[in-house]
Amino acid sequence: MASQTHKQLSVLTGSTLAFTVCFAVWVMFSIIGIPIKTNLNLNETEFGLLAATPILSGSLIRLPLGMWTDKYGGRIVFLVLMLCTVLPIYVIGDATRYWQFLVLGLFVGVAGGSFSVGISYVARWFSKARQGFAMGIFGAGNAGAAVTKFVAPSLVAAYGWQMVPKVYAVAMLATCGIFWLLTYSDPAHRVSSSVTMRDQLLALKDPRVWRYCQYYAMVFGGYVGLSLWMTKYYISEYGLSIQTAALVAAIFVLPSGVIRALGGWVSDKLGAHAVTNAILWISWVCLFLLSLPQGGFTVKTVQGPATFVVGLNVWVFTVLLFVVGIAWGFGKASVFKHIADEYPKNIGVISGIVGLMGGLGGFVLPIVFGALVDLTGIRSSAFMFLFAMTCLSLVLMFFSSSSRKGSHKLKIAEILE
C-alpha cells in the first residue's frame, strides 16, 4: 500500500501535468487565431474575442467545479472535465467560419476550469505549512501557455494551423490516462453531504473574497490576457515573424508560470500579505513604463529645435515584461496562500470564486486590448489599462493594511485590559 508521502507526490505530479496540458489547450487560439484572423479578415476586436472565448467558459465553470470538487473529490471531477474536452478540441481543425470557432472555443475553454479543481484537490493532501509551496508547484502548470508558444508555431509552420488542435486532442486523451494512473482519492477530503449549495455560496458575502478576486483578476487575468495578446503585439509593434514573436513572448509566459512554485514557498515563509503588497508595487512601476507609447516630441532650445524619442525598443520592453511576469507569478501564488490560510474548510468554493474572477479578467482583457487599439490606434493602451488595474489593487491593499493594523491594535488593547 502506498505511503502518504508517495500519494502526496503522485497526486501533485499527476495534477500538475494535467493542468499544464489543460492550460496549453486553453490558450491555443493565441497562436492559431493569428492565421485564422488573416483567413477570415478579422479586425483587432474580433481577434481579441476569438482568443478570449475559451477563457470565458473556462472561467464561468470554475465556481461549480470548485463546489463539485468539495462535494465529490478532485480526482473524478478532474478526469471527467478533461474527457469532455477531447472531441471539441479535435473538431476545431475542421471549422471554417467565425461563429464555429467561437462555439467550439466555448467547449474547449472548459479545460481552463481545471485550475479550481486541481488547486483544491492538491491543497487538501498537504499540511498548512506546505500548502503554499504545493499549490505553487501545481499552479506552475500555467506554464502550459509557454508550451503552446513553443509547440504551436512550429506545427503551424510545418503542417498548417489545423494540425495544432489535432495534436492537442491526442495529448489531452493521453493525459487522462496518465492522470488516472498517478492519482488517488481520499473521502476525508470531501465536505459533509449535509452542506448545501446555498451554504457554499454564502462565501460571496465576505468582502475579503472580493478583494482577492481583484488581485487575482490582475495577476492571473493579466497573465492570461497578455499570453493571448503578446504574440500579436510583437508582430504588430515590432514587425517580428510569428515564430520569433511567439518565442520572445515566451520570455514573459514561461517564467511567470514556473516561478509560481517559488512564490508559494516565499508566501509560506514571509506571509501572503507581504508578498502580494510587494508584487503590486513592482507591477505599478513596470506597467507605467510599458504604457509609454512609441513616439517623440520636439522642443525649442537655444541651439534650435531638439527632438526626443519616447518609447521602448524590443529588448527593454521584453525585460520589463519579464519582470512583470515574475511579479505576477509570485502574486498568483500569494493570493491562493491567502485563501488556504483563511478558508481551510471550503477552499474549493473560494478558489472557484476567485478563479472565476481571475479567468474572467483573462477573457475581458484581450477584448479590451483590441477595442482600445481600434479606438485609439495606440497599441500600448493595453498596458495603460493594466496600470489602472494595478492602481485600484494598491488602493484595496492600502485599506486592507489599515484594517489589519487596526485589528492588531484592538487585540493588543484587549490583552492590556
What are the pLDDT digits (tens) for 20-29? 999 999 889 9
Task: Give me the pLDDT at residue 77, please.
Answer: 93
Asked if residue 145 belongs to a domain, the reply is: yes
Q: How confident is the model at residue 387 (pLDDT cuts 50, 70, 90)?
A: very high
- Helix residue ranges, H only, 124-206: 128-139, 144-159, 163-182, 197-201
Asked if residue 407 belongs to a domain, the reply is: yes
Task: Give me the pLDDT at residue 79, please.
Answer: 95
Domain CATH for 390: 1.20.1250.20
Q: List CB contacts of 256: < 8 A, sequence separation 6 or more.
A: 142, 143, 223, 325, 326, 328, 329
Asked if residue 197 belongs to a domain, the reply is: no
Give the residue, 70 or 416, on which the prediction is more confident: 70
Give the residue, 166 or 257, on which the prediction is more confident: 166
Burial of 293 (0-12, 13-18, 19+ CB in 10 A): middle
pLDDT at 231 over 90: no
Mean pLDDT (whole number) for 283-296:
88
Give the residue, 247 or 258, on which the prediction is more confident: 247
pLDDT at 218 over 80: yes
Asked if residue 196 belongs to a domain, the reply is: no
Map residue 296 onto helix, strand or coil. strand
Structural domain for 49, as ranges: 4-187+202-416
Asked if residue 58 belongs to a domain, the reply is: yes
11 in Cβ contact with 73 (< 8 Å):
no
Q: How confident is the model at residue 260 (pLDDT cuts 50, 70, 90)?
A: confident
Mean pLDDT (whole number) for 227-243:
86
Asked if residue 352 belongs to a domain, the reply is: yes
Q: Say whether pTM exceeds 0.85.
A: no
The answer to which of 107-116, 129-138, 279-288, 318-327 has the lowest mean pLDDT is 129-138
Q: What percent of the chain clears pLDDT 70, i.e. is strictly above it? A: 91
Question: How many domains does one find in the chain?
Answer: 1
Asked if residue 242 belongs to a domain, the reply is: yes
CB atoms within 10 A of CB 96: 9
Asked if residue 287 belongs to a domain, the reply is: yes
Task: Give me the pLDDT at residue 409, please.
Answer: 42
- Alpha-carbon gap, residue 333 to 321, rounded angstroms: 19
Task: Give me the pLDDT at residue 196, please.
Answer: 62
Mean pLDDT (whole number) for 176-188:
90
**Closest CA relative to residue 135, chosen from 250, 11, 30:** 11
Task: Give me the pLDDT at residue 52, please.
Answer: 82
